[in-house]
Amino acid sequence: MPTIGSKKTERTGLKSQKALARETKLLFIVVAAASASILLHLSVQAAVSWRHGARIEAEIKARKAARAVTVYENDLRFNQELEIAKNAASERIAERNHAAEMERRRAHDPKFAVSEREKAMLQMKGMSLGEGEAPEEFLKKLAKLACPPKSGVGVTVAKTGYLVEVAFPYSRITEAHSEYKKHLPGLYLEVKKTAAGIAQDILTYGGPLGVAEVVVRCQGVANVQTREGVKKEKRDLFGVTFVNDGRDWSQYSRTEMEQLWKINTNQFPAMIANMGAR
């Protein structure tokens, strides 16, 4: 038969079991809540880490792209600067070569003598009066070199020195300048340039020998009406005289030489006017 003490003990044990159950349940709830909190925290951390990682990856990609652009721009700039430097160096080399070539041409380097005119100039520059040679003969040879082929040359003694007279054929001008065809103004310019060049060479290389005057004429064939009919006669189309006053004739251009001559004959203005009237 149960006693009072035993019942009390039984009730106490029952209460203890219930309390233990409540504590266990509470502990379970606490543990579950803690686990949920931990899981939530871990999820948040994972999300933050993912976003942080994505941001870092994006920054890395952006930096790589920026570096690639910088490298490309630097390479492009370098190539441009290199090309500019190459062009500048080439221009400087070309300028030096051109200056050296022009210096050699002005010095009449034989290697640059290609045309008949250049070869004749070299010969004139190298000429000197031979022992026992008459100045008249020397001046004739000089004048022939200064003139186009088939030109007439004459040297006479005047009161103040030697008179050198030359006559070059108009046909040599038309043949040498076929680009003008029958364009008289262009041919007229070439006639004047040729006359100035001939006189300049004779005065430059023959002046020291006592050349006092140089007369240059351009002769052409013209149709002349006579009693017997039309005949072809040689006529002076252009003629000028240069007086040697002792100046350095080599320093003048052909255009400047034209300011120093005296015109004796000039048929070209009338010829040009007649052609324009047709």
pLDDT in tens, 208-229: 999 999 999 999 987 767 788 7
Q: Name the residue type at position 226.
A: T
The token duo for 231 is 């005949």
For 84-105, what is the mean pLDDT? 71
117 phi and psi angles, rounded to 5 deg? -65, -45
Q: Is 154 helix (H, G, I), strand (E, B) or coil?
A: strand
Q: Are 136 and 162 in contact (CB under 8 A)?
A: yes
Confidence of residue 48 (pLDDT cuts 50, 70, 90): low
Output the CA angle 255-257-261, nearest 5 degrees.
Answer: 125
The CA-atom distances, in angstroms, between 91 and each of 44, 94, 95 are 69, 5, 6
Q: What is the pLDDT of residue 6?
A: 58
Contact residues for 166 (Cβ-Cβ < 8 A; gap 6+): 143, 146, 147, 151, 152, 153, 154, 198, 202, 214, 215, 216, 217
Q: What is the pLDDT of residue 194?
A: 95
Query: Is pLDDT of 4 > 60?
Result: no
Query: Is pLDDT of 107 > 90?
Result: no
Q: What is the pLDDT of residue 125?
A: 84
pLDDT in tens, 180-218: 877 899 999 999 999 999 999 999 999 999 999 999 999
The token duo for 76 is 């492009």
Confidence of residue 178 (pLDDT cuts 50, 70, 90): confident
Query: Is pLDDT of 267 > 80?
Result: yes
Residue in this structure with the two tokens 């976003």, named with its chain if needed: 51
Which of 27-31, 111-115, 144-148, 215-219 shows the lowest mean pLDDT across its residues? 111-115
Q: Is 162 helix (H, G, I), strand (E, B) or coil?
A: strand
Which of 99-113, 147-161, 199-213 shows the lowest mean pLDDT across its residues? 99-113
DSSP 8-state class, residue 166: E
d(Cα 182, Cα 74) in Å, to the nearest integer? 61
To the nearest whole number, what is the mean pLDDT of the chain? 82
Max mean pLDDT among 6-10, 97-101, 102-106, 260-264 falls in 260-264
Q: What is the pLDDT of residue 150?
A: 93
Q: Is the pTM of this model over 0.85?
A: no
Query: Is pLDDT of 110 > 90?
Result: no
Residue 196 CB: number of other CB atoms within 10 A?
23
The token duo for 158 is 């005047």
d(Cα 146, Cα 166) in Å, to the nearest integer? 10
